[in-house]
Copies of this chain bind each other. A is one copy, B any other.
Amino acid sequence: MEQRVSIVTLGVGDLEAARAFYDALGWRTANEGEETASIVAYDLHGMTLCLYPWDKLAEDAQVPPAGEGFRGVVLAYNVRRKEDVAPVLAEAQAAGGRVVKPAQDAFWGGHSGIFADPEGHLWEVAWNPFAPLGKRGEFQWKGCS
């Protein structure tokens, strides 16, 4: 198995509302048109983030749809400058998300905060001084030591 993720699909209870949130963040769908009514796709760098109805996502995986509490998954959005963290959290809140953890210095030497999208999916917004982003925003792990 090669090292890659092709798609991250987030299950959502209200597809239109979830899509409106990411739209409000300035994201543009890769599949605008009829298809967007059943699945919403955003092209990232060589991968795709999809929003898909929660129950259908479970059904497709042939698992029961019930689930609650912490999901054990956090997506991170890294920024270029320390002072970019708080504004991104504010932008997410203005778009209908919820700031779960305000911007603060992290034990590993960076600066970060966390928001939940309207469906409860967690995003960390982080500045990592040890791993600057590439020109296209690409991230490469460089450790913190």
Q: Which residues of A contact B (CB under 8 A)?
A: 1-12, 25-28, 30-31, 34-35, 41-50, 54, 57-58, 60-78, 88, 91-92, 100-101, 114, 119-122, 124, 126, 133-134, 136-145
Inter-chain contact A70/B77, CB cutoff 8 Å: no
Q: Which of A4, A45, A77 has the most CB of B within 10 A?
A: A4
* Contact residues in B for A64 (Cβ distance below 8 Å): 69-70
* Contact residues in B for A119 (Cβ distance below 8 Å): 72
CA of A39 to CA of B68, assembled, Å: 25
CA of A134 to CA of B43, assembled, Å: 14
CA of A90 to CA of B63, assembled, Å: 19
* Contact residues in B for A9 (Cβ distance below 8 Å): 73-76, 124
Q: Across the two chains, which residue of chain B brings its CB closest to A72?
A: B11
Inter-chain contact A42/B3, CB cutoff 8 Å: yes
Q: How far is the CB of A46 from chain B (nearest CB, A)?
A: 3
Q: Assuming the A-B contacts A27-B1, A45-B47, A76-B9, are A35 and B145 also in contact, with contact meaning beta carbons closer than 8 angstroms in the complex?
A: yes
Q: Please tell me which one of the listed residues B10, B57, B139 contacts residue A48 in the complex, with CB atoms under 8 A apart.
A: B139
Q: How far is the CB of A34 from chain B (nearest CB, A)?
A: 8
Inter-chain contact B1/A91, CB cutoff 8 Å: yes
* Contact residues in B for A122 (Cβ distance below 8 Å): 61, 63
